[in-house]
Structure 1
Amino acid sequence: MGKRRLCPCGTGVPYGECCGRLHRGEAKAETAEQLMRSRYSAFAVGDVDYLLATWHPATRPSSLDLDPGLRWQRLDIVRVADGGPSDRRGTVEFRAHYVQGRHAGELHEVSRFVRQEDAWVYVEGKVF
């Protein structure tokens, strides 16, 4: 049996046991950070349906086109404020590293999340 692929979100857990469970609808994110990690992983594996499903309806785009030439390399969580299992709101600051062609880059964002109908959803982010 080959080595199981680790989750792109950086937990060190195999994808199928980590964010893959959320992407398949077998579990829901318990915290804003877990939703942030699962959304990063969805970008990394190209799961547009999951990204749209976890986006707040008031700010969700009607469609989402991912750049096939962009490869997400690493996620670093910088800061988490609130967003725990009993919170209604949370903020996650992160740095997402990518490669596009020969260019390496970084997306630095502070994302806002809310709990809606007992599930965490992404509201918006401020990019630095």
Structure 2
Amino acid sequence: MRARYCAFARKDRDFLLRTWHAQTRPNSLTFDDAITWTGLEIIKTVKGQQPDSMGMVHFRAHYLTPQGPGIQEERSRFIRTEDGSPWVYVD
């Protein structure tokens, strides 16, 4: 989750698409240049450790726009297709 947050903050399209599950990955990804990401707050995690094949992260991503600060709150699901494979974002 932290790696994906950093990728959004850096506008690293390649990393984001590469770590997005093929069944839910968009064809393209655009960024809003008016948004500056300012912090990530992990609220809760469910599973997502070494023996797990699925994990969930509840988080708040803080940002700033010309209109002022904001928060994007989500629950994201990640999976691994094989033991030891990288985690990929599903939804």
TM-score interval, smaller chain = over 0.9
3-state DSSP class of the match of 2:41? strand
3-state DSSP class of the match of 1:60? coil
Q: Which runs of 4+ in 1 moved over 6 A?
A: none
Trace 1:109-124 onto structure 2 (pairs within 5 A).
Answer: 109-117=74-82, 118-124=85-91
**Residues 1:62 and 2:27 aligned together:** yes
Distance 1:110 1:121 in 2: 14
Aligned pairs, number: 89
TM-score (norm 2): 0.94
Unmatched runs of 5 consecutive residues or more in structure 2:
none
Unmatched runs of 5 consecutive residues or more in structure 1:
1-35
Q: 1:105 aligns with which of 43, 56, 70?
A: 70
3-state DSSP class of the match of 2:36? strand
User: Structure 1 residue 103: deviation in Å?
Assistant: 1.8
Higher helix share: 1
3-state DSSP class of the match of 2:80? strand
User: Structure 1 residue 80: deviation in Å?
Assistant: 0.4
Higher strand share: 2
3-state DSSP class of the match of 2:73? strand
